[in-house]
Amino acid sequence: MTADPPSIIALTGKTEARLNERQLVDYRDHRERYVRWLLTVGKEPDRARGYATSTAQNHAYRTDHFYRWVWNREGRYTLELTHRHADGYLAELAYEDWTDAHRAKCYQAVKAMYRWLEIERGLDEWDPVLTFYERDEILDKPMVGMGHEVRIFQSPSVHRCRGLTRFGHAG
């Protein structure tokens, strides 16, 4: 049995403090649809397999942070995410002092959000310029970019990079 989406959405205090009442209603509705999708089909949409409640909760928390990051960059509230937003966010993660696990979990949460946006809004499939793996995952994942294998070992993170500069713009 899955949790009721409103019980796991719990908007962070930072988000509640930032948004006006109208934005909160809009954002809460958006989040409820997203979390319901995570719980019911988000893990494997073609097989209608959802994530565990704890994973959905963690994805919801991480994507709430991602939205605040977007709002800071845009200088305004928006739910219209772009691929450039996601690539820029991951680029910042690459250059900040985070663990492999944190970077990989943030990547997974953002990737799930964009899969939902493909279905929900018809957004084009996102091909991230940067991909994070936890070190034990790296052995099972191909790391190919631009027609050849690329490995960047940056303490403490391991990631795949496809033409990324410091500020998340493709080079």
Kindly report the CA angle at 119 between 109 and 56, in degrees rounded to 5?
A: 30
| Contact criterion met (CB below 8 Å) for 129 and 164 | yes
In the chain, domain spans: 1-77, 81-111+125-171
The percentage of the chain sitting over the pLDDT mark of 70, rounded to a whole number, equals 70
The 8-class DSSP code of residue 126 comes to P
**Both tokens of residue 138?**
């790296």
pLDDT in tens, 2-41: 555 556 766 788 999 999 999 999 999 999 999 999 999 9
d(CA 108, CA 135): 15
CA distance 151 to 144: 8
The pLDDT tens digits of the residues spanning 75-97 come to: 999 999 999 999 999 999 888 88
Does the pLDDT at position 148 exceed 50? no
